[in-house]
Amino acid sequence: MNITQKIISKHLLSGQMKAGEEISLKIDQTLTQDATGTMAYLQFEAMGVRKVKTKLSVSYVDHNTLQSGFENADDHKFLQTIAAKYGIVFSPAGNGICHQVHLERFGVCGQTLIGADSHTPTAGGLGMLAFGAGGLDVAAVMAGQPFYLIMPNIVKVNLKGKLKGWAGAKDIILELLRLLTVKGGRNKIFEFAGEGVKFLTVPERATITNMGAELGAATSIFPSDLITKEFLKKQDRPSAWKEISADKDSSYDEELEIDLSALEPLIACPHSPDNVKKVKELKDIKVNQVCIGSCTNSSLNDMLLLSALLKGRKINKDVSLVVSPGSRQVLSMLAKDGALANIIDSGARILESACGPCIGMGQSPKSEGVSIRTFNRNFKGRSGTKDAFVYLASPVTAAAAALVGKIIDPSKIFTKKPNIKIPNKYIIDDAQFQKPSAKLAKTEIIKGPNIKSLPEFAPFADALKCSIVIKTGDNISTDDIMPAGAKVLPYRSNLEKISQFTFSAMDADFYQRAKSFEDSIIIGGENYGQGSSREHAALAPRFLGVKIILVKSFARIHLANLINFGIVPLTFENAYDYDLLNAGETMVFEDIKQRIKDNESIIAKIGDKEIKVKYELTQRQKEIIFAGGMLNLIKATIK
């Protein structure tokens, strides 16, 4: 077996490891963050379970750390108290970004992990099988339920040779995005192999698995080898390691190869992670801002490299350079090593160890500004500035741009690559992690006035008459559906309030129009719902009366979220029928419930037009939709 099959076989609860079949897995660990976790824990609380049933669940505060009002602080207190009551480890603001911290302090080779964040596959750099998921899926797993998914195809990515020059791990994943696009990883798991693996550190591997999410992949994974063992030994967690490798005669559904020695610095241009070009191809593009950090490139390795590159240099006078170390551990080690001084002395601004600019939480660029970021997404408007031009690049390329004030090949600025030496032991200080209360039942859960319980949704109707509330194009992201940023994120625990922002960046009238319809439908193109796992992108439309979403194709996590909240996901049988539909028209679905129940085809009627649509739903998914959502179903069956 290959690595993926080995881990799945040990956690398989139902189904067969056959691509396209639904399987269920036992999950060892879960993680949440405060932007998605507040709603996930409200859902968990509604399930009536006394304690989480995983080996480990961790609640991180790393997204909504900008406290411009009471809302975020109230959410953090709620998360702290609910963690203490239900047996969850709580990581408060300042401890760092969930994926970086989990890699350092909690990840275990060969275990399974799901997280209410699409970049949970970061842990694949440790040899974990880690999936991003909606908050309700995570809540269900914490309540003892299996995690369900359609068995993906397993793709072997053979890394040939060794990186040369100024190419880095970020350039490996950017090359994959260039080759495969943001749709190329749908229904796939990427398993990395080959001689090139042994030259990559755990943080470098994690950079690659982190951005596998941008391919649309279910997850990505590396072997657990002696390099993994050394990383965990330095973290004083040797027991978390075990060797995991593919058998020599293992097979894969697909294979591809990347020659690392042929790679050179790459950059993702606006406004998509797959719009990748060679850095040297871009000429005289002036840069206004550089951001280095996020869960993709904020490790100690990244920061020490940045420090060495900036030592004795000053950033360009027209550039704002902001740096966010990924964890308290990283920041502390930079400070004690003296490396932090090099970064500060260059003119950089040091941000807290949090997600920050990556989700539009501060540091928005100027109007029509150019921002080079070591982040994972550059969707239009995600930075908080609608007309900004955001590029994605490695820390080396970003540092070069900060020094010169324009996009430039790093080899034109830097001569010899610094020899970065990682200390033999990381600073270990777990004092800020809060363990669950010894008296779980007596712990009081504190809810501020902005925290609202999730409303109950009615069971699915036998027939539907839906108005087309909006028609969208291809690659609509969950950022497009439900924006992030400082104005929106504080309402993650208030569904009625946050629903007012639905599609607000694309269509300012969407909310009022949706409220005027009794039942509605959204029409979309290819890869609908790509990007973040934020379930509010499904939950808010459901709250506003959206009952069906009809598109050419769905992104994986968003598809699962739609089903979880009782929205029927349909696709066109004939893609050209998309052109026949217009916003404001009414679509009639006669006997839709019975047809789905009986696996019969569905024909939607719009006046004298008929549109054939398809659905791919397992029996379990049908039951979720018929019940009006997973929460209704679990509450009816859980004990």
Three-state secondary structure call for residue 4:
helix
Percent of the chain with pLDDT over 90: 94
- Least Cα distance to 593 among 555, 553, 548, 561 occurs for 548
By DSSP bridging, strand 188-193 and strand 546-551 are unpaired
Task: For residues 10 and 12, give the distance between their C-alpha atoms in angstroms, rounded to a whole number.
Answer: 6
The pLDDT tens digits of the residues spanning 17-67 come to 999 999 999 999 999 999 999 999 999 999 989 999 999 999 999 999 988
What is the DSSP-derived secondary structure letter of residue 575? G
Beta strand pairing call for 289-292 and 22-25: unpaired
> Is there a shared CATH topology between the 269-411 domain and the 464-637 domain?
no
16 pLDDT band (50/70/90 cuts)?
very high
Average pLDDT over residues 219-240: 98
CB atoms near residue 262 (< 10 Å): 12
DSSP strand pairing (586-589 vs 568-572): unpaired
Q: Record the tokens describing residue 626, joined without a space.
A: 């018929």
pLDDT band at 639 (very low <50, low <70, confident <90, very high): low
At 76, is the secondary structure helix, strand, or coil?
Answer: helix
User: Per-residue pLDDT for 70 more than 60?
Assistant: yes
CB 447 within 8 A of CB 97: no
Q: What percent of the chain has pLDDT over 70?
A: 100
Dump pLDDT digits (tens) for 74-98.
Answer: 999 999 999 999 999 999 999 999 9
Tokens 């976790």: give the residue. 37
Task: Residue 295: name the closest of 364, 232, 349, 358 by CA.
Answer: 358
Report the amino acid identity of residue 494. Answer: N
At 638, the pLDDT band (50, 70, 90 cuts) reads: low
Tokens 């004298």, residue located:
608
Mean pLDDT across the chain: 96
Provide the edge-to-edge strand list for the sheet that holds 129-132. Answer: 89-91, 56-60, 29-33, 112-115, 129-132
Cβ–Cβ < 8 Å for 476, 529: yes
* Distance, CA of 278 to chain centre: 26
Bond before 536 cis per omega within 30 degrees: no
pLDDT at 600: 94
Q: Give me the phi and psi of 552, to 5 degrees please.
A: -80, -35
Residue 528 has pLDDT above 80, yes or no: yes
At residue 439, the pLDDT reads 83
List the chain domain ranges: 3-262, 269-411, 464-637
DSSP classification of residue 365 = P
Neighbouring CB atoms inside 10 A of 574's CB total: 11
| pLDDT tens digits, 335-394 | 999 999 999 999 999 999 999 999 988 999 999 999 999 999 999 999 999 999 999 999
Strand order in the sheet with 320-323: 276-278, 266-268, 389-392, 370-373, 289-292, 320-323, 349-350
CATH architecture of 464-637: Alpha-Beta Barrel (3.20)
192 DSSP β-pair partners: 157
Band the pLDDT of 172: cuts 50, 70, 90.
very high
119-136 burial string, b = 16+ CB within 10 Å, else e? bbbbbbbbbbbbbbbbbb
274 token code pair? 């797959």
Q: How many CB atoms sit inside 10 A of residue 323's CB?
A: 28
At residue 219, the pLDDT reads: 98
CB distance 290 to 402 below 8 Å:
yes
Question: CB count, 10 Å around CB of 65?
Answer: 22
Question: Is residue 438 very low, low, confident or very high in pLDDT (cuts 50, 70, 90)?
Answer: confident
Full DSSP string of 515-559: HH-SSEEEE--TTBTBS---THHHHHHHHTTEEEEEES-B-HHHH
Q: What's the CATH fold of domain 269-411? A: Aconitase; domain 3 (3.30.499)
pLDDT reported for residue 348: 98
Alpha carbon of residue 171 to chain centroid: 19
Q: Which residues contact 505 (CB under 8 A, 6 or more apart)?
A: 381, 386, 479, 480, 483
Q: What is the mean pLDDT of residues 241-253?
A: 97
102: nearest Cα among 319, 111, 543? 111
pLDDT exceeds 70 at position 533: yes
Whether this prediction's pTM lies above 0.85 is answered by: yes
DSSP H helices in 370-424: 395-404
What tokens were used for 351?
């941000």
Q: How far is CA 377 from CA 188, 211, 466, 533, in A?
A: 20, 9, 33, 13
Closest CA to 245 of 292, 210, 197: 197
Interacting residues of 94 by C-beta distance below 8 A, sequence separation 6+ = 328, 352, 353, 432
Cβ distance 100 to 33 under 8 Å? no
- CATH number of this structure's domain 3-262, picked from the four choices 3.30.499.10, 3.90.1310.10, 3.40.640.10, 3.30.565.10: 3.30.499.10
